[in-house]
Amino acid sequence: MTKTVKNVSIDFLLSTMTESLVLAFSGGLDTSISVPWLREKFGYDVITLTVDVGQGEDLKMIERRAYLAGSSKHVMIDAREEFAKEYVFPALRANALYEGKYPLATALARPLIAQKLVGVAKSEGSSIISHGCTGKGNDQARFDITIKALFPSARIIAPVREWNLSREAELEYASKIALELGTKSEYSIDQNLWGRSIEGSTLEDPAVEPPAEIFEWVRSISSSPDSPEDLDIGFEDGVPTAINGNPADPVDIISTLNSKAGMHGIGVIDHVENRIMGLKSREIYEAPAALTLIEAHKDLEKLVLTRQELEVKAMIEAKWAWMVYSGLWIDPLVEALNAFIDTTQKRVMGHVKIRLHKGSCRVIGRESTKSIYNLSLATYGENSTFNQRSAEAFIEIWGMQSRLAKAVAK
């Protein structure tokens, strides 16, 4: 016999219950079509989440688009400060450039968004998390690995990946259900505080020069100011704390340098990169603040760190960038690499003067109370304290094995 609650059959209640899931929602094509697909085809109650990491978009418009697409609840989290302090600045301390080029802007944001997805899912009593990643891109790994590490029992649904959709098929589906997408772009664009990426369409041909209209942050060299601009960037513990002597919070410093360096034509990266999935991809990035700060930070490190520290740190930097690019933010190795980096950064303090002009970011001066540059030893003037005669004995010992090897090889 079926039990009833206030004359309502429990069997009926169970049959009408809708399972909820939390979807990372950017408002773009992939996530916009995911809402009705998940709701109408599979009956999920879709809760959408937008995490503000400095993408500079109209968050009210994104919320409206989520509800029009069929979201039952939209959550917005302002994580800009957390992103800058806990993700961007560790990357800066690591001078992180994947394959020596890409400052990891999108890669850094994904584990943070994944963390917020898990938090919202748990607070909403849901064990299903969804995102709009494709089966070709890197972001699927960055999301899935972090989500599973933080919420092992979670089920992950990636509609575009599971549906095996092309961009054309997505647009056709959106048109079929009259889904509002706003201004359509032929390019796929992702943006946050640390950088802006543009891919797709004509850019997929690596021989084609990027059209000028794709750039929003970086001016062309011809339209940049004729006069150079000098900036003084202050550092403490390896992170910037002030510009021209004016203390500022992390978000303001990054935003200011994106504006100033971009105005001077600094920050475009045109890169054929090796993706996690084994594909090569042509990527265009705009990262004025990232490239400017990394240049200044590396220069200050040369002033305060020893040769041995710099050599080992360069190897660690390459590994750190590869790990984060590959979606392994939560891996114990990243924590171990951070421990070494953190130790070195205790002495990375001081000021770096940079000159911005016509696409060039050039260091023109640096100083630090922790400097191991000794003027009295380095100078070629009369007041040098360096005993030049001591070099003769050093060279005799330094080259000993090389001379011996050369002698026996004859």
Domains of the chain and CATH, by start = 15-188 (3.40.50.620), 191-366 (3.90.1260.10)
* 241-287 pLDDT per residue, tens: 999 999 999 999 999 999 999 999 999 999 999 999 899 999 999 99
* Residue tagged active-site, from 65, 80, 93, 110: 110
Write the DSSP symbol of residue 39: I
Looking at residues 302-313, what average pLDDT do you find?
98
The pLDDT value recorded for residue 98 is 98
Q: What sign has the CA pseudo-torsion 286, 158, 78, 58? A: positive
| Residue carrying structure tokens 């992390």 | 250
Is residue 235 within 8 Å of 300, Cβ to Cβ? Answer: yes
Determine the Cα–Cα distance for residues 283 and 271; give it in Å rounded to an integer: 5
Determine the Cα–Cα distance for residues 329 and 90; give it in Å rounded to an integer: 11
**Closest C-alpha among 87, 120, 168, 93 to residue 21:** 120
| Burial class of residue 157, CB neighbours in 10 A (0-12, 13-18, 19+) | middle
Determine the Cα–Cα distance for residues 217 and 220; give it in Å rounded to an integer: 10
Looking at residues 100-108, what average pLDDT do you find?
98
Is residue 253 within 8 Å of 240, Cβ to Cβ? Answer: yes
Q: Which residue has the higher pLDDT, 297 or 42?
A: 297
* Residue tagged active-site, from 188, 201, 326, 371: 188
* 188-223 pLDDT per residue, tens: 899 999 999 999 899 999 999 999 999 999 999 999
* Residue tagged active-site, from 71, 80, 139, 190: 139
- Whether this prediction's pTM lies above 0.85 is answered by yes
- Report helix, strand or coil for 373: coil
Given a cut of 90, whether residue 78 has pLDDT beyond it is yes
pLDDT band (50, 70, 90) for residue 9? very low
The pLDDT value recorded for residue 14 is 36
* 111-123 pLDDT per residue, tens: 999 999 999 999 9
Given a cut of 80, whether residue 8 has pLDDT beyond it is no
* Residue tagged active-site, from 26, 30, 347, 366: 30
The pLDDT value recorded for residue 174 is 79
Determine the Cα–Cα distance for residues 21 and 86; give it in Å rounded to an integer: 27
Vertex 104, ends 198 and 283: CA angle to 5°? Answer: 30
* 310-325 pLDDT per residue, tens: 999 999 999 999 999 9
- Report helix, strand or coil for 283: strand
Write the DSSP symbol of residue 222: G
Our answer to whether residue 175 is catalytic in this structure is: no
Return the structure tokens found at 4.
């009833």
Our answer to whether residue 342 is catalytic in this structure is: no
Secondary structure (DSSP) of 179-204: ----S--SSEEEEETTEEEEESGGGG
The pLDDT value recorded for residue 17 is 54
Our answer to whether residue 190 is catalytic in this structure is: no
Is residue 80 within 8 Å of 100, Cβ to Cβ? Answer: no
pLDDT band (50, 70, 90) for residue 85? very high
Given a cut of 50, whether residue 16 has pLDDT beyond it is no
Looking at residues 334-357, what average pLDDT do you find?
98
Is residue 128 within 8 Å of 21, Cβ to Cβ? Answer: yes
Distance between start and end Cα atoms, the chain:
100
Return the structure tokens found at 243.
């510009």
Looking at residues 87-108, what average pLDDT do you find?
98
Q: Which residues contact 329 (CB under 8 A, 6 or more apart)?
A: 110, 111, 142, 145, 146, 323
Return the structure tokens found at 152.
């092992």
Given a cut of 70, whether residue 97 has pLDDT beyond it is yes
Our answer to whether residue 110 is catalytic in this structure is: yes
